[in-house]
Structure 1
Amino acid sequence: MNRLRTQVAIVGAGPAGLLLSHLLHRQGVDSIVLERRSREYVERRVRAGLLEHSTVELLRACGLAGRLDREGLRHDGFELRVNGHRHRVDTTALTGHRTYVYGQQELVKDMIRARLEAGGQVRFGIEDVSLDLAGDGPSTVRCTLDGRPAEIACDFVAGCDGFHGVSRRTIPPGLLTSYERRYPSAWLGILAAAPPTSRELVYAVHERGFALASMRTPEISRLYLQVEPGESLDAWPDDRIWKELRARLAVDGEAALTEGPVLERSLVELRSYVAEPMQHGPLFLAGDAAHIVPPTAAKGLNLAVEDVKVLSEAFHAWYATGDRAPLDGYSEARLPAIWEAEDFSDWMAHLLHRLPGDDTYGSRLQRARLDAVVNSPTAARQLAERYVGTSRQNSGGRARSRVTAAPG
């Protein structure tokens, strides 16, 4: 039996778990990261790529943005194409902040490298994690390490292992309330060896359905199509995908799309999920383990970064001063900003997607919202503030102030 001791056991080596371990290390707090998948898998897993200003500022402050600043793509706005006509939302002019495109897998590579170079313990291929959450005294994480059973005694557990991970499922039934919404749409996504259609993201609203043209590098495009839930990838050969993208992204009747070999493809059904509270005893949930947003507003990765920033500060307060209040108030501090992001992602989903069936009333509402964004500076500014995350930062700040001021 391997017996180990750490202060914080972190389950999951995605951006949330790796960043939390890095932040704790900078504060002098010890951690062990356990990941079910292999290192190669998590470094190749293509996920979100749009980073908000506050996310990039945090990565810079903790020394993780060197390659991001060299290779990341800075964006001052995005294109909104409505039935073949181009409009631009200048988010930097409207808010003073820009966004950045840098693939999640690249960020994960940077974080893993930083942890290992600092002597951090990040263990991959650990498929049998179980949690024994003690009310008093150390909790225990059980798993197999180096082919032998292991027990890791720890003060706290950070569940950063995603929606299907073990952490949230460890919370006893009845103590957790789940809120969920499933949307009548799915996204078919491809990664293509083709230069991006535009220097900025392109959101296309079309009678045939929504399309998004994004990028990962100046040579690699990431493109999405709205399809029906339950669609099969087999029904979408490359020729059909490109034909549909050309139709939905066309501008003034002309195709505006650069094509190339399809490197990867995926199909994701859109849904929202929030678990309350985000903690139970010594267990704290972060990232997709606690909440999921539809990809329409690209908030998932940024929410995870905010979670672990607040959580790392709470751990630091405990170990530095013995103040437990920030840990006890973690869920209350985070939920207002999470629900703000859920609301905006839901709003964007309804703004951009073709509605199912013959919902003429909903279609007219959608047209009115699009008209407002295109023609009203006030509506455009509100959209820009929520898009770059400044409105959410304000709501999260107010929540943290209330928790900090609470007695005990």
Structure 2
Amino acid sequence: MRTQVVVVGAGPAGLLLARLLGQRGVDVVVLETRSREYVEARIRAGILEHSTLEVLDGAGLGDVVRRDGAEHRGVYLQWPGERHHLDFVDLVGRSVWLYGQTEVTRQLGLAHDAAGTQIAYEVADVELHDVDGERPSVTYTDRDGVRTRVEAVAVAGCDGSFGPSRPVVADAGGETWERTYDYSWLGILADVAPSTDELIYAWHDDGFALHSMRSASVSRLYLQVPAGTEIGQWSDDRIWDALSTRLGAGIDGWQLTPGPITEKSVLPMRSHVCAPMRRGRLFLAGDAAHIVPPTGAKGLNLAVADVALLAPALADLAAGDPAAGERYSERALRRVWRCTHFSWWMTTMLHRDDDPFTRQLQLSQLQWVTSSRAGAAGLAENYAGLPISL
């Protein structure tokens, strides 16, 4: 089989890239090891940057986000006894949108159904070949056990941190930077209306807490817990008690409303960047190239930025420009490191540290961010989304 670009991975990064390439007239084949049902049910990020919405506008999905999502002007930062609202629109003229990654993936899937994109789900034994040459290929086994080879002009690795694409780049001598945090997030979904209109990021002596939401009737909340925590150690009652304490029940009469917990899990926290984000005709995007802790809401948004840079480069390459794509890694990594720093900064500012000196520095930093327009604008600029190309 021949095509112009093989996209490995049918998560939001892979599906969005395939969509943008299809709009440019590029022939694409998408390969995914999981089922479509599994991919579309994964609970992930829910905050879209201003720049992400602009990319989705170009993909024809922006109107759906505006119709079904919720625009948020900012976030709340708090510590015991104090809660402060940062208005991003007032500070930097940009808002963010609450719209779940699951819905982004589902809408992209529907767009591909209408376009007739070739997407093979539940494939196995995916292997990449000849990525240093001009005709790379990918082999895989389909659901019927048939082994197939797809030749292309380029391969896009959008297959996450455990897919086959990242090791192929690493084998060529790339560099890796990583930081593993000694705490995790215990996250829950609950069938209860949010107790806040916008996200609350809370510093507390017991540990960080975040009140987010998925819709007008579903809340998403998180607690800082030690790394290695087993979910069975936390009963529903214990979770709600800890959330109520850390989120500041009683601040100006505010109360957290509990409800039935429908899903809970423990999410490890780490930062990971590999460079370059390409090898020959293989290009990495999204989690295949970088992981950030979720505190700054950057994971999905960073993947979208990668794809927005990669799509025109691959379209030029498919049109016969052999130099196209040479600057992709350099351009993408500038934004990757900016977002990696912001995610680290938010994480280390808000999560409890055992060192009393560090805790006082965190409180001082929170007080500065919420009292200085310059400090607040710096947070707002990064959170609401920097330009795609820095």
For this structure pair, what is the TM-score category when the shorter chain's length is used for normalisation?
over 0.9
One of 370, 376, 381 as aligned partner of 1:380:
376
Higher mean C-alpha displacement, 11-20 vs 246-255? 246-255
Distance in 2, matches of 1:327 and 1:127, equals 28
Matched with 2:259 is 260
Q: Retained in 2: the 8 A contact 1:133–1:283?
A: no
One of 23, 28, 31 as aligned partner of 1:26:
23
Distance in 2, matches of 1:97 and 1:107, equals 20
Decide whether aligned partners of structure 1 residues 117 and 174 sit closer, same or farther in structure 2, where only a CA change above 3 A counts: closer
State the SS of the aligned residue for 1:203: strand
Question: What letter corresponds to residue 338 of structure 1 in structure 2?
Answer: V
Matched with 1:99 is 96
Matched with 1:35 is 32
Instruction: Compute the displacement of 1:234 (Å).
Output: 0.5
> TM-score scaled to structure 2, two decimals?
0.96
Instruction: Compute the displacement of 1:167 (Å).
Output: 0.6
Provide structure 1 residue ranges, at least 5 long, that are not aligned to the other structure.
399-408
Matched with 1:169 is 167
Instruction: Compute the displacement of 1:260 (Å).
Output: 1.2
Distance in 1, matches of 2:33 and 2:225, equals 31
Matched with 1:337 is 335
- Counterparts of residues 75-224 of structure 1 (less than 5 Å): 75-145=72-142, 146-171=144-169, 173=171, 175-224=173-222
Question: What letter corresponds to residue 286 of structure 2 in structure 1?
Answer: G
Distance in 2, matches of 1:118 and 1:188, equals 39
Question: What letter corresponds to residue 183 of structure 1 in structure 2?
Answer: Y
Provide structure 2 residue ranges, at least 5 long, that are not aligned to the other structure.
none
Instruction: Compute the displacement of 1:324 (Å).
Output: 3.5
- Counterparts of residues 363-402 of structure 1 (less than 5 Å): 363-390=359-386, 393=387, 397-398=389-390
State the SS of the aligned residue for 1:327: coil
Question: What letter corresponds to residue 136 of structure 1 in structure 2?
Answer: G
Distance in 1, matches of 2:106 and 2:240, equals 31
- Counterparts of residues 192-341 of structure 1 (less than 5 Å): 192-252=190-250, 256-320=255-319, 322-341=320-339
Decide whether aligned partners of structure 1 residues 230 and 47 sit closer, same or farther in structure 2, where only a CA change above 3 A counts: same
Distance in 1, matches of 2:371 and 2:169, equals 48
State the SS of the aligned residue for 1:325: coil
Distance in 1, matches of 2:265 and 2:340, equals 23
> How large is the RMSD of aligned CA atoms in angstroms?
1.4
Distance in 2, matches of 1:101 and 1:16, equals 18
Distance in 2, matches of 1:252 and 1:85, equals 11
Distance in 1, matches of 2:124 and 2:235, equals 34
Instruction: Compute the displacement of 1:262 (Å).
Output: 0.8
List per-residue Cα deviations over 1:357-384 (Å, max 9, x = no partner).
3x12211211110110121111111111
Distance in 1, matches of 2:305 and 2:173, equals 24
Matched with 1:68 is 65
> TM-score scaled to structure 1, two decimals?
0.92
Question: What letter corresponds to residue 14 of structure 2 in structure 1?
Answer: G
Distance in 2, matches of 1:151 and 1:309, equals 27
Matched with 1:402 is none
Higher mean C-alpha displacement, 187-196 vs 139-148? 139-148
Instruction: Compute the displacement of 1:319 (Å).
Output: 3.2
Q: Retained in 2: the 8 A contact 1:35–1:126?
A: yes
List per-residue Cα deviations over 1:313-343 (Å, max 9, x = no partner).
10122234x3343401110111111000000
Instruction: Compute the displacement of 1:243 (Å).
Output: 0.7
Question: What letter corresponds to residue 337 of structure 1 in structure 2?
Answer: R
Q: Retained in 1: the 8 A contact 2:34–2:121?
A: yes
Instruction: Compute the displacement of 1:158 (Å).
Output: 0.4
Question: What letter corresponds to residue 198 of structure 1 in structure 2?
Answer: T
Instruction: Compute the displacement of 1:290 (Å).
Output: 0.1
Instruction: Compute the displacement of 1:131 (Å).
Output: 0.8
State the SS of the aligned residue for 1:348: helix
Distance in 1, matches of 2:175 and 2:148, equals 32
Question: What letter corresponds to residue 89 of structure 2 in structure 1?
Answer: T
List per-residue Cα deviations over 1:248-276 (Å, max 9, x = no partner).
11244556212111111111111000000
Distance in 2, matches of 1:174 and 1:30, equals 28
The runs of 4+ residues in structure 1 deviating greater than 6 Å are none
Question: What letter corresponds to residue 223 of structure 2 in structure 1?
Answer: L
State the SS of the aligned residue for 1:315: helix
Instruction: Compute the displacement of 1:134 (Å).
Output: 4.4
Question: What letter corresponds to residue 199 of structure 1 in structure 2?
Answer: D
Q: Retained in 1: the 8 A contact 2:192–2:258?
A: yes
Decide whether aligned partners of structure 1 residues 183 and 129 sit closer, same or farther in structure 2, where only a CA change above 3 A counts: same
Instruction: Compute the displacement of 1:85 (Å).
Output: 1.9
